[in-house]
A and B are shown apart, each in its own frame.
Chain A
Amino acid sequence: MAKRKSGKFRDRVELLDCLWAYQSKHGYIKDNHVKQCSEDFGISEVEIEGVISFYHFFMRQPGGKFTIYLNNSIVSEFKGFERIKQAFERETGASFGSVDPGRQFGLFETACIGLSDYEPAALINFHPFINLTTLKVKEIVSQLKKGKRPADICDDIPNNIRLQPPKEGAIFFRDYKPGSIVPLLSQMKPEAVIEEVKRSMLRGMGGALFPTGLKWASCAAEGEKKKYIVCNADEGEPGTFKDRVLMTSMPALLLEGMIIAGYAVGSDEGVIYLRAEYFWMKKQLEKTIKQFYKMGLLGTDITGIKGFNFDLRIQMGAGAYVCGEETALLNSMEGKRGEPRTKQFFPTEKGFLDKPTVVNNVETFCAAARVVELGSDHFLSIGTASSPGTKLLSVSGDCHKPGIYEVAWGTKVSRVLKEAEAENPNFVQVSGPSGSCISAKEFKRSIEKDDLPCGGSFMIFNDKRDILTIMKNYTNFFKEESCGFCTPCRAGNFIIQRKLEKIGKGLAYPSDYDDIREWGEVMKMTSRCGLGKAATNSLNQALEKFPKYFDGLVDHHKEGLNKEFDLESAVQEYEKFKS
């Protein structure tokens, strides 16, 4: 690498922050900013552009004084997305995907913003607006036109905790005094912490269910001096919002979990990778971090333990679902495109900046803190033998009580539906589009590792909801959110989407379903990371579980020698030239 005359280049780790700084100040990233970044970081402009264009919240064109991102997830779609979209267009004079001529309003769609319990919802300059109606949109836009700032008129987001287990059965939502857990470490050796976490059988709550104790132990065993603790606060799986509630209701618990992890594995630096959709939480998190420094829970010689130092910072994401994949997240933290890495090492061996790194999500760190506080015995006394403890479910969709449900592992789907007051549920999407599609016949199944593992998303659909619409929404989501690195995921989702469109037009044959199954299998076998591997899960399950519905979408009489071809629509374009 060439050195600049004036000295060293900036550290690439700062690239995302630097781009955010330009964008917040100027509304978008200008050509000269790209040039400046290229000079400052010592990398070519095309590489900077590559990073910018990977993240959908970075703008290279003016995004308007007020940039409005309306969520297009399936829950939003069923709660009136289209109506709200039109209302915004009507009120602002801009059309979606662009900015109005006066450069006041920019309208854009985005994937799930973690507010599924209050859909339709939107972010305006990254401030949340929930339960949108056409009237509310009108009011918001007129206020903004009058000069109000989005920060002043945005909604407070209530926590919406609907179900807590009885007092001793709770892990997360029970009495908590911020800063009360870390001091317990002075009574424990790092090995003892890991042992306790191992004993509790705590598993990664993001959905992969990797044993947390094992992860920490393998990181602790690495000989490197520098190690990192990374919190994955990029909950992007549509329908999930439990991390949002944890971070707004007890941010200190998350910090304690991370500090404990740092103590256990011998790391002195932690990073919270916060998705850009949660910009509005950043202030509170920073405040909590500051308080922790004041309380001596961060910094040096924490709670009097000699040589136990830990620093914590927040890294903002910039809009990319795939960054929830841990190696993609690490790349993103390093200021690169958020493409998952070639799986040669675990992050605990070579993670952030090639140093041993523990990556856990918000819920896992919170649970780990509780393990230290309550002890593994308490943990083991809740839930099932193979999945002890509790799980937070983000319940949304067709029910009267959307919100957060803390349930013991082993709780039946039907119980959750009852508590949520679901109306005529036809199926439940557990763990989001890449998870499982559960039909009414299976509502007796229980949420646990050995039956129905769950990352947190729990979307309920009633019998009026069109299944193909749901599947089209999912496929579109994966098509947009694929990182584009490997062929089967990049091209496969695109191809499947075209196929679903064809089915939607009534041009399908029974053989089209065989195609989807086979093509899905190819994607599953060959994709580079979980995104592509899981992208057709729900679709294949839906085909299997709702054969009658899908059978009704095809016309069996057309199967034969001649396939359906709509000559009239194929010549429509040419008919324009008829004089």
Chain B
Amino acid sequence: MAKKNSKEIVISIDGKKINTQEGKNLVKAAEENGIFIPSLCYYEHIDPPLGTCRVCTCTIDGYDGPACTQKVRDGMKVEVQTKKLRDTRSAIVEMMFSEGNHFCPGCEKSGDCDLQHMGYEMGVSRSRFPHLFKDRLIDFNPKRMVIEHNRCVKCHRCVEEVLTDDGKRVFSFANRGNQTEVAIDYEQEARLTDDQALNAMSICPTGAILVKGAVMTPLPFGDRKFDMTSEQKGFYEPSGKDSKKAAKKGKKKTIATISLAGCFGCHMSLLDIDLGLLDIIEVVEFNKSPLNDIKEFTKQCDIGLVEGGCCNSENVEVLQEFRKKCDILVSFGECAIWGGLPAMRNTIPLEECLEEAYLNGMTSEPGEYIVPYNRELPKILDKVYPNNEIVKVDYFIPGCPPDANHIWKVVQNLLFNEDYSVLYSEFKYD
């Protein structure tokens, strides 16, 4: 932190001159001047800064490095928003989504989560990395807390910040390499006051630290912490081309849709286009789709919208057919993009899942201790696959479910080359 009366200096961020004080943290100096350097693990009062997440990577006087570990000095030249840096930052956030098991719709912190927020800020619609689906524990043993290791991004904040009154650490990193995790000391945890425990939950950037019984009131869209805080208004600014004409000139375009291992929620969202559907019908026709109950393709389609990933052999066959019959294939919704909620089983061997469901479960019918297997039934895959691991997918629309406007804007763009802007508030994972 900068000392009082430190020297006034000038630095430049993306070419903009900024007056600040020598020795101040770069992230802080930028923030005070209205420039947002995305960062996750950064916590103003932790010194030396952690530098664990690497999201704030910038180019500083020609060298790439995290902004959070830099103190400003006179004449410092910082680049924040170059194309390469934006892409690199996005890659780091995607890496976090791929490394952990982040099932936003089932998470208490959803809508109030720093990781989610970073995803929105970066405009991450999917992770470029394959999800690792490593089996992680949920630790219910602590007296007051639940540690959800699936969600931990190893930012180190809790390790640094959560101490008992006599200065003992409650958390520590344990293991090494890809096995690294945050461990909790049950004895010390029990000695925390209620406020200290709640503080631990609140400094966690994700939902990895929960306090038993502490209810987080889920807020509706629009009221959530990160819904409106961004500087960003939208993604993909329109260039102002008039597309209506283009749309009318051509003949009707054909759309096919399907729900694989999904909950039909994305299709429900599709219906939320409401009255807009009447306009849509003017310019497109639907082929194979649950919306009109056409079971078989009757012709080659312009675009195929796929909800849900692949959890069984039938899903794979249908998806492969869609790939053949649709010129453009779009995965819409989290399940289609990376597996989503059905992929919660990916960290557990299939055999255990089936045995739990059909043999050892509390609701198993007596005398029917059998795992269904019949040649009429689709075969269950070893894990739930995202569609792009099975066929080539051209576009991805994130959301659980994706916002109706978002879906329609993408389709309009793809079919009629219509420019569009997806609003920040329409871009959702939860």
Given A50-B174, A562-B391, A573-B382, A487-B95 contact (CB < 8 Å):
yes
Find chain A residues with CB under 8 A from B351 CB: 573, 576
* Contact residues in B for A578 (Cβ distance below 8 Å): 373
Considering the chains assembled together, what is the distance between the CA atoms of A56 and B324 in angstroms?
A: 51
Q: How far is the CB of A481 from chain B (nearest CB, A)?
A: 6
B residues in contact with A49, CB < 8 Å? 172, 174, 183
Given that A487-B96, A528-B51, A565-B390 are known contacts, is A494 also in contact with B154, CB under 8 Å in the complex?
no
Of the 9-residue stretches B5-13, B52-60, B232-240, B278-286, which lies at the interface with chain A? Answer: B52-60
Partner of A342, one of B50, B176, B180, B187: B50
Chain A min CB distance to B204 (Å): 16
In the complex, the answer to whether B382 meets A53 with C-beta atoms within 8 Å is no
> Chain A contacts of B164 at CB under 8 A?
44
Determine if B167 and A1 form an interchain contact, defined as CB atoms under 8 angstroms apart: yes
A491 touches B96 (CB 8 A): yes
Cβ-based interface call for B343 (8 A): no
CB–CB B169/A487 < 8 A: no
Closest to A50 in B: B172
Q: How close is B314's CB to chain A, nearest CB, in angstroms?
A: 11
| A193 → B minimal CB distance (Å) | 33
B98 — which chain A residues lie within 8 A by C-beta? 491, 495
A575 to B183, CA, bound (A): 38
Majority SS at the chain B contact face: mixed
B129 and A519 contact, CB distance less than 8 A: yes
A6 within 8 A of B: no
Q: Does A479 contact B (CB under 8 A)?
A: yes
Determine the distance from Cα of A45 to Cα of B93 in the docked complex, in whole angstroms.
Answer: 32
Interface residues of A in 462-501 (CB under 8 A from B): 479-488, 490-495, 498-499
Any A CB within 8 A of the CB of B272: no
Which chain A positions have C-beta within 8 A of B371? 577
CB <8 Å contact, B91 and A56: no
Q: Which residues of B contact A53 (CB under 8 A)?
A: 174-176
| A: contact size bracket | 35 or more
User: Does A86 interact with chain B (Cβ within 8 Å)?
Assistant: no
1/0 per residue A553-579: CB within 8 Å of B? 000000011110101011111111111
Residues in B with CB closer than 8 Å to A44 are 164, 168-170, 172, 185, 187-188
* CB-defined contacts of A577 to chain B, threshold 8 Å: 354, 371-373
- Chain A hits for B300, CB < 8 A: none
Number of residue pairs A-B, CB distance < 8 angstroms: 203
Chain A residues with CB under 8 Å of B143's CB are none
Contact among A481, A499, A515 for B177, CB-based, below 8 A = A481
Q: A54 contacts the other chain (Cβ, under 8 Å)?
A: yes
In whole angstroms, how far apart are the Cα atoms of A408 and B271 in the complex?
76
Contact A574 B381, CB 8 Å, known A44-B169, A46-B184, A567-B316: yes
> How many B residues touch the partner, as a band?
35 or more
**Which of chain B's residues have a CB closer than 8 A to the CB of A494?**
99, 132, 178
Does B48 count as interface, using CB distance less than 8 angstroms? Answer: yes
Residues from chain B with Cβ under 8 Å of A342 in the complex: 48-51, 69
Q: How far is the CB of A483 from chain B (nearest CB, A)?
A: 6
In the complex, which residues of chain B have a beta carbon less than 8 angstroms from the beta carbon of A565?
Answer: 316, 385, 389-391
Contact of B92 among A54, A484, A526 (CB under 8 A): A526
B-chain residues with CB within 8 Å of residue A574 when the two chains form the complex: 350, 354, 373, 379-382
- A1-B166 Cα distance, complex, nearest whole Å: 6
Contact at A562–B392, with CB atoms within 8 Å?
Answer: yes
Given A44-B170, A49-B174, A522-B88, A561 and B391 touching (CB < 8 A)?
yes
Task: Decide if A344 touches B177 in the complex (CB within 8 Å).
Answer: no
Q: How far is the CA of A560 from the CA of B175 in the complex (A)?
A: 42
Residue in A2, A488, A525, A575 whose beta carbon sits within 8 Å of that of B167 in the complex: A2
Give CA–CA (A320, B173) in the complex, Å: 15
- Min distance, Cβ B207 to any Cβ of chain A, angstroms: 18
Question: Is A486 within 8 A of B188, CB to CB?
Answer: no
Interchain nearest-CB distance for A343 vs B (Å): 7
B349 touches A573 (CB 8 A): yes
Judge whether B77 is part of the interface by a CB distance below 8 angstroms.
no
C-alpha gap A342/B48 in the complex (Å):
7
Whether A551 is near chain B, meaning CB under 8 Å from some CB there, is no
- Answer whether residue B81 sits at the interface, using C-beta atoms and an 8 A cutoff: no
Partner of A43 from B50, B168, B385, B390 at Cβ < 8 Å: B168
User: B27 at the A/B interface (Cβ < 8 Å)?
Assistant: no
How far, in angstroms, from A480 to B49 measured CA to CA in the complex?
25
List residues of chain A with CB within 8 A of the CB of B253: none
Q: How far is the CA of A514 from the CA of B4 in the complex (A)?
A: 50
User: How far does the alpha carbon of A566 sit from the alpha carbon of B88 in the complex, in Å?
Assistant: 32
Contact A526 B177 (CB under 8 A): no
B352 to chain A, nearest CB (A): 10
Q: Are B320 and A525 in contact (CB under 8 A)?
A: no
User: Is the C-beta of B347 less than 8 angstroms from some C-beta in chain A?
Assistant: no
Q: Please name 10 further chain A to chain B contacts, defined as beta carbons within 8 Å, in addition to the given A43-B169, A498-B130, A515-B128, sorted by A numbering.
A: A44-B187, A46-B188, A47-B168, A337-B173, A485-B180, A492-B95, A522-B95, A525-B88, A560-B392, A571-B313
- List 25 contacting pairs A-B, 8 Å CB cutoff, sorted by A: A44-B164, A44-B172, A44-B187, A45-B188, A46-B183, A47-B169, A49-B183, A344-B69, A479-B177, A480-B177, A481-B176, A484-B173, A487-B95, A487-B96, A495-B95, A519-B129, A528-B52, A563-B391, A565-B390, A565-B391, A570-B316, A570-B381, A571-B379, A573-B351, A574-B350
- Residue ranges of A at the interface with B (Cβ–Cβ < 8 Å): 1-2, 42-47, 49-50, 53-54, 56, 320, 322, 337, 339, 341-344, 479-488, 490-495, 498-499, 515, 519, 522, 525-528, 560-563, 565, 567, 569-579
